[in-house]
Amino acid sequence: MAAVQGGMGDADIKTDIKTEPSADGFGNNNANDGRVLSASPGSSSSTGSNKQTAAVTPEDQQTLLAVLQFLKKNKLSESVEILRREAGLPENSLDPKANESAGAGSGGAAGIVDLEGGDASSLLSRVTGSSSAGAQAPTKAAVAEDQPDVSVVLSAYSQQGDPTLYKVYYRDLKKFIETVLDCHRAELSQVFYPLFVHMYLELVYNNHESEAKAFFEKFSGDQECYYEEDLRILSGLTKKEHMRGNETLLDFRTSKFVLRISRDSYQLLKRHLQERQNNQIWNIIQEHLYIDIFDGMPRSKSQIDAMSGSLAGEAKREANKTKVYYGLLKEPEIELPLDDEDEEAENEEGKPKKKKPKKDSVGSKSKKQDPNAPSQNRIPLPELKDSDKLDKIMYMKEATKRIRLGPDNLPSVCFYTFLNAYQGLTAVDLTDDSSLIAGGFADSTVRVWSVTPKKLRKVKSAADLNLIDKESDDVLERIMDEKTASESKIMYGHSGPVYGISFSPDRNYLLSSSEDGTVRLWSLLTFTCLVAYKGHNYPVWDTQFSPYGYYFVSGGHDRVARLWATDHYQPLRIFSGHLADITCTRFHPNSNYVATGSSDRTIRLWDVLSGNCVRIFTGHKGPIHSLAFSPNGKFLASGATDGRVLLWDIGHGLMVGELKGHTDTIYSLRFSRDGEILASGSMDNTVRLWDAMKAFDDLETDDFTAATGHIHLQDNSQELLLGTYTTKSTPVIHLHFTRRNLLLAAGAFNP
Amino acid sequence: MAEERRQKHCSVVLPTESMKAMAESVGVGQLQEDSCVALSEEVSYRIKEIAQDALKFMHHGKRRKLTTSDIDNALKLKNVEPLYGFQSQEFIPFRFASGGGRELHFYEEKEADLSDIINTPLPRVPLDVSLKAHWLSIEGMQPAIPENPPPATKEQQKAESTEPLKVVKPGQEEEGTIQGKSQGTTTPDGKGKEKGLIRLKPRSTHELSVEQQLYYKEITEACVGSCEAKRAEALQSIATDPGLYQMLPRFSTFISEGVRVNVVQNNLALLIYLMRMVKALMDNPTLYLEKYLHELIPAVVTCIVSKQLCLRPDVDNHWALRDFAARLMAQSCKTFSTTTNNIQSRITKTFTKSWLDDKTQWTTRYGCIAGLAELGSDVIKTLIIPRLAVEGARIKAVMEGPVVSNIDKIGAEHVQSLLLKHCASVIAKLRPQPDNVDQYRTDYGYLGPMLCSHVMKARTQAALQAQQVNRTTLTITQPRPTLSVSQSGLSGSSGPRTPSIIKVPSSLTLMSPRPGTPSQPSPPATKYIVMATSAGAASTQQVITLSSSQSASPVTSTVPSATSTLQPLVKLESGSGAGLTASRPLQKYIVVSLPSSASSSLETKSSVLPTSISSSSLDGGMKLERSESPGASTQSPH
């Protein structure tokens, strides 16, 4: 818990900016406030409250907060101040200003609380507790005032216009945009989709069902094809009653659609609308759209298309400005025994020695410290155990035998096929040393196989363990029960399909996340379940261990990702901000950041320390199902249902590449150990290899691009594609590079 | 297009009649039209919502099929009790049918006999999940092992041969594989030159890897060797193995050269073996044979019409080889003949030309007739029957004239029986019923009387068979004994071919006893079995039309459609009136189409082929060194 408090204390100025001019439900804010999308109170608290997050902080703190809120409500500001100081709570947790301004805007969020529980005040404390644990200052502020109903959110739609004029308005605008200069047309066309949706919703809200239908039919065909999925949801929605409790809709309403438009184009639009007295559209633009105006050349159609597609428009430029320490942590120095013959002896002696130089090296011996790397103790990491050091030595030895890959030296691919899985294989993971493979199945089981001749053994029972000579050298060998040796083990415990699975780096634990809302920690020594981490309550789509162990992250249908430590039964951080299910989670190699991909077609990067969202990547046109960090931590690759792999520069917050070729969902991505090759595996039964070096080398990272975020993507997928390997009706759902750069792939045969 | 689809999405709403029916089923009698409309809209919306959530589960389950469990999970997500009892892993048990202008989805309800269930042995326990490793690629090259898909699909092979100079742009699909393949061998500088240029068709390499060479050697040796079991295995491999296309040129050369040599040496056995290889190649669904027809067809035609195929023409049964080859020819005409290559017409011309020649020997004459006859009844009608009289005179000259040679006599006899066999069934269809011997004699000359008796035999046989089938159809009461029908059909058609409902391949002595491949070269006939369960009084109009149509022409396409309309009609009524179904005896017709045995054997055998890489070494996959990797040797010959 100490880490949590620290995190809250560290919340920097950025957080304050976020909280101040919070969302406003009544449309009287200007379009240029500095609000960061991620912190939008509506979205974050809607998730928090909607899913009834379990309380996280100790009970007394919860009550404390409740008292504070009560005092505040009664305008006893002095008492608030005193109590706050006494309790040592951070300033921003109850920043009065944030509280008041956000109160109005968070009506929707609070409203949902009402919908769910009915009694707002009873929920209040719970929600507050949970959000404070998540270090989400704005969330607290948002929930502080209780608003009666969801109708408040929707009431924004209630201003009446003549329903029959909607078509005219829209057509008018369409005509205008079609006739503007070419250079502005592409930019202004971005307005179509959000306008269309909001106008449609207004019609529906005001019970003009037939007009709404006619409007939809007339103009839905004009929208970009990548919005089809959303339009389908929208098309089903024809009644005011449907709008209640429709999450997609609430998201659309509570989070402003973000557009990036050049100043010239914006002026053009503004002038047109003012000339025409087209208030209807102007109102919508002001209330529901966030127009991010930039100076300079308008963007081209392809530039816009590359970045759009997400549920809530593009990311704002500010959202990606935070500095990200993407460098790698310095590896503790372990002397590599050079002679294989002396290996054993060296280890015996080396162990006590190694500990000291390692301790010193942290921080002090910063020889060639990567300027982009976070400080070694930015987040507390577990100490290396002796066994970890042995593993590191093994790793380094293997690494010396690693094959250097490249376009002329492609890796061999070994495919592990799960036979007789009857379409039930849902998740696969391999240990880093490639000795174990685990599968999660739709029948709720988790199975572990040994892929080396070494069989899986359990630890002996307690009674037997008593008989063992604990001083003997091979005690670790002796505790294992030879009788239980087998090639695979089944672990029962979940009560729903297992969707995510992850080995701990030390191979002692296995995590699995399931439809039943739990994440389970299994011991690979006893093959039993150790902990069931509850909190998500809804299906947990993915989970992953930190590369340093101890921490893990999970994300699921409740739209939040949670950071856990194995020895805490409650999450340390809650990352909230996504507008739809979190479909995949991945740790940055330095363990300081977590990337999450979502059904809202965005990727977010979260700072583990502060819990803030530091990057939002938009550009995918479908739910994201796989993520991979490059080994140097600089880049991120993501794959989605649209069959495209996108490459991102984390430091600059830019899209840097697009790899087209797959024809179906990409379920797995992996960089080779040295980062030269990116392998992608897909539902279309292929493994494809891409030249990652070239993709990243060709970058034009001049300052202009970095500053504006305007990318020019070349269509060079075919040049980068190094190989395509088709399986026999086996979707590829996991990929893994061994330490020597042999590519392992896995999937279930699908007869 | 997309627009239309979207609009369709928008408008799909459950019909109000469904609402009414559902309301009635739960006891709500009178439902206002307005409430129906409101309900249907609401229900449609909720269903769409659930479907969307279910899709999420499908995606995360890494499947392409939406299953009932996905729907269950989606319901659970909405805090709705899932539907129990619809567990289905694979498919939703609806059957689709259309007829009478309606389209219906219905449950197929089977009546299960409890005693049957109790008495039948337990089904095999499903296999447990297991893990198997294989090399998907070795240093950029995909090894051609059964675990991997065939290196080139039939379409690719076709494209390769039919569009030889197609410009391959860098953006094309095949590029990846080609590049990937060549990666291991081409030097880097060579690749640099190639890149960016418009490339012509890559020079196809016909060099075989060591494994392939070994395989080729083994297969060809087994095919012409003395061990029949080995031969069966080899032929099976040729007929099913997906990765043979690289060896295809070798095989076709092997066959054509083999025929050339063995015809000269009159080695009947080897010729038979080679023809069986041709058959196996034609059976392989992954091969694009068109490219090699110029070698295969002459070989086959040689086996049909060659003057002498064996050392002792009077004793050896070379006729069977001619028959078999003729069937192969007919099959290849059927599958490969196009307007551009005109195989069928060219073959027909060749056969007729040599047949019309007076000096043609009896053996060749036999081959020509067999080849023509196999091409179908139309060919028989237009080419063979008009010449029956002439041919009859020729046969008569040999049979009744002075004995010239024994061989000629045997030849004439065979030609005679061949003509009778093929023509009888065609004439039976052509000529009206009263079969007058004299009439036949005037029409067909010497062969007339014999033809007459054959035609009569064919007619009775056909009638008998139709009757037989009808009878069995009616007596079957359980869906279990499905095979009795086809068996009765088999026994009835040992004679000359007759038009019958159940097409049964006439057995060929030439073939090995292998059960897998059917001996007839004609495309595997689909067998239809018409069954009735719990025969009772026909109660609806559909049933009547069904039975009438059945007696007229037992298997028609109308039967299944009639079945379908019948079935849901009963269901619908049972939904409205509770006690109705119990009193009314249902009659169900189930039309089963059996897959031809060839295809089923194909599926079962496909996974047992020997692998070139031992799986034990793969188990320790990650421990393998590059140099040790078993496939490393594959690169050297490339």
Q: Which of residues 75-134 of B touch A (CB under 8 A)?
A: 77, 89-90, 126-134
In chain B, the residue whose alpha carbon lies closest to the alpha carbon of A209 is B41
Is B621–A416 a contact, with Cβ atoms under 8 angstroms apart?
A: yes
pLDDT score of A436 more than 90: yes
Nearest to A718 among B170, B618, B621 (CB): B170
B108 assigned to some structural domain? yes
Work out whether the CA dihedral B255, B260, B265, B268 comes out positive or negative: positive
Is A68 within 8 Å of A91 (Cβ atoms)? no
A720 vs A706: which has the higher pLDDT: A720
**DSSP E strand stretches across A478-559:** 480-486, 488-491, 498-503, 509-514, 518-523, 528-534, 540-545, 551-556
pLDDT in tens, A549-588: 899 999 999 989 999 999 999 999 999 988 889 999 999 9
Cβ neighbors of B226 (< 8 A, separation 6 or more) are none
Closest Cα in chain B, distance from residue A102 (Å) = 30
Closest Cα in chain A, distance from residue B321 (Å) = 38
**Mean pLDDT split into 10-residue runs, chain B, 638 residues:** 46 78 80 84 86 90 87 88 66 69 71 82 83 88 78 69 50 40 38 45 64 87 88 89 81 90 88 91 85 88 85 81 90 84 86 84 88 87 85 83 77 87 84 79 83 86 71 38 34 36 36 38 39 37 35 37 36 36 41 40 38 38 38 38
Token pair, residue B309, equals 């195929």
pLDDT in tens, A207-236: 888 888 888 888 887 787 788 777 877 887
Is some CB atom of chain B closer than 8 A to the CB atom of A214? no
CA distance A615 to A618: 10
Which of B39, B66, B129, B624 is the best mutation test for A, with the most CBs of A within 10 A? B129
B101 assigned to some structural domain? yes
Is A217–B10 a contact, with Cβ atoms under 8 angstroms apart?
A: yes
In chain B, the residue whose alpha carbon lies closest to the alpha carbon of A726 is B149
CA distance B386 to B383: 6
Token pair, residue A462, equals 């307690």
Is A683–B64 a contact, with Cβ atoms under 8 angstroms apart?
A: yes
Work out whether the CA dihedral A615, A619, A623, A624 comes out positive or negative: negative
CA distance B302 to B310: 13
Q: Which of residues 600-619 of B touch A (CB under 8 A)?
A: 618-619
Model confidence at A736, pLDDT cuts 50, 70, 90, reads: very high
CA distance B386 to A736: 73
Cβ neighbors of A464 (< 8 A, separation 6 or more) are A481
> What is the β-pairing status of strands A734-737 and A635-640?
unpaired
pLDDT in tens, A305-355: 888 888 778 887 777 888 888 888 887 776 655 544 444 444 444 444 444
Is A430 within 8 Å of A668 (Cβ atoms)? no
In chain B, the residue whose alpha carbon lies closest to the alpha carbon of A246 is B49
CA distance A76 to A413: 68
The three-state (H, E, C) secondary structure of A417-431, written as one string: EEECCCCCEEEEEEC
Token pair, residue A507, equals 């191979």
Is A667 within 8 Å of A686 (Cβ atoms)? no
B98 assigned to some structural domain? yes
**Helices and strands counted in chain A (H then E):** 27, 31
Token pair, residue B12, equals 């799909």
Contacting residues of B for A724, CB less than 8 Å apart: 176-177, 180
Nearest to B136 among A413, A422, A718 (CB): A413
Alpha helices in A180-292 (DSSP H): 182-189, 192-205, 209-219, 228-236, 240-243, 247-254, 263-275, 279-288
Closest Cα in chain B, distance from residue A88 (Å) = 40
> Which residues in A538-550 are b (16+ Cβ under 10 Å) and which e?
bbbbbbbbbbbbb
CA distance B157 to A455: 45
Is some CB atom of chain B closer than 8 A to the CB atom of A725? yes
Is some CB atom of chain B closer than 8 A to the CB atom of A400? no
CA-based radius of gyration for chain A: 27
In chain A, the residue whose alpha carbon lies closest to the alpha carbon of B177 is A724
DSSP secondary structure letters along B573-626:
HHHH-SSHHHHSPP-EEEEEEEPPHHHHHHHHHGGG---SS-HHHHHTGGG--T
Is A308 within 8 Å of A292 (Cβ atoms)? no
Alpha helices in A579-658 (DSSP H): none
Find, among A597, A734, A745, A442, the residue nearest to B65 by Cα.
A442
Contacting residues of B for A641, CB less than 8 Å apart: 59
> Which residues in B113-145 are b (16+ Cβ under 10 Å) and which e?
eeeeeeeeeeeeeeeebebebbbbbbbbbbbbb
Nearest to A449 among B89, B131, B148 (CB): B131
HSE at residue A493, side-chain half, CA atoms within 13 A, is 24
B634 assigned to some structural domain? no
Instruction: Please give the residue range of the domain that contains residue B67.
Output: 16-119
% of chain A surpassing 70 pLDDT: 74
Is A550 within 8 Å of A564 (Cβ atoms)? no
A374 vs B92: which has the higher pLDDT: A374
Question: To which H or E segment does residue A435 belong?
Answer: none
Nearest to B140 among A410, A538, A748 (CB): A410
Is some CB atom of chain B closer than 8 A to the CB atom of A726? yes
B243 assigned to some structural domain? no
B38 assigned to some structural domain? yes
Is some CB atom of chain A closer than 8 A to the CB atom of B622? yes
B185 assigned to some structural domain? no
Chain A and chain B share a number of CB contacts under 8 A equal to 213
Angle B292-B296-B302 (CA atoms, 0-180°, nearest 5)?
A: 160
- The domain total for chain B is 1
**DSSP E strand stretches across B27-184:** 94-99, 102-107, 130-137
Is B57–A687 a contact, with Cβ atoms under 8 angstroms apart?
A: no
Quote the pLDDT of residue B362: 85
Nearest to B61 among A412, A442, A687 (CB): A442
Is some CB atom of chain A closer than 8 A to the CB atom of B57? yes
Nearest to A410 among B6, B139, B149 (CB): B139
CA-based radius of gyration for chain B: 31
CATH code: domain of residue B102: 1.10.20.10
The three-state (H, E, C) secondary structure of A447-469, written as one string: EEEECCCCCEEEECCHHHHHCCC
Residues pairing with A659 in the sheet: A645
Is some CB atom of chain A closer than 8 A to the CB atom of B59? yes
Report DSSP state, residue B129: P
Contacting residues of A for B195, CB less than 8 Å apart: 719
Is some CB atom of chain B closer than 8 A to the CB atom of A83? no
B94 assigned to some structural domain? yes
Is some CB atom of chain B closer than 8 A to the CB atom of A226? no
Is some CB atom of chain B closer than 8 A to the CB atom of A32? no
Which of A489, A728, A740 is the best mutation test for B, with the most CBs of B within 10 A? A728
Is some CB atom of chain B closer than 8 A to the CB atom of A421? yes
Contacting residues of A for B62, CB less than 8 Å apart: 425-426, 667, 683, 731, 733, 748
Token pair, residue A480, equals 């294992």
Q: Side chain identity at A689, as an amino acid letter?
A: L
Work out whether the CA dihedral A252, A254, A257, A258 comes out positive or negative: negative
Tell me the longest C-alpha to C-alpha distance in chain A. 91
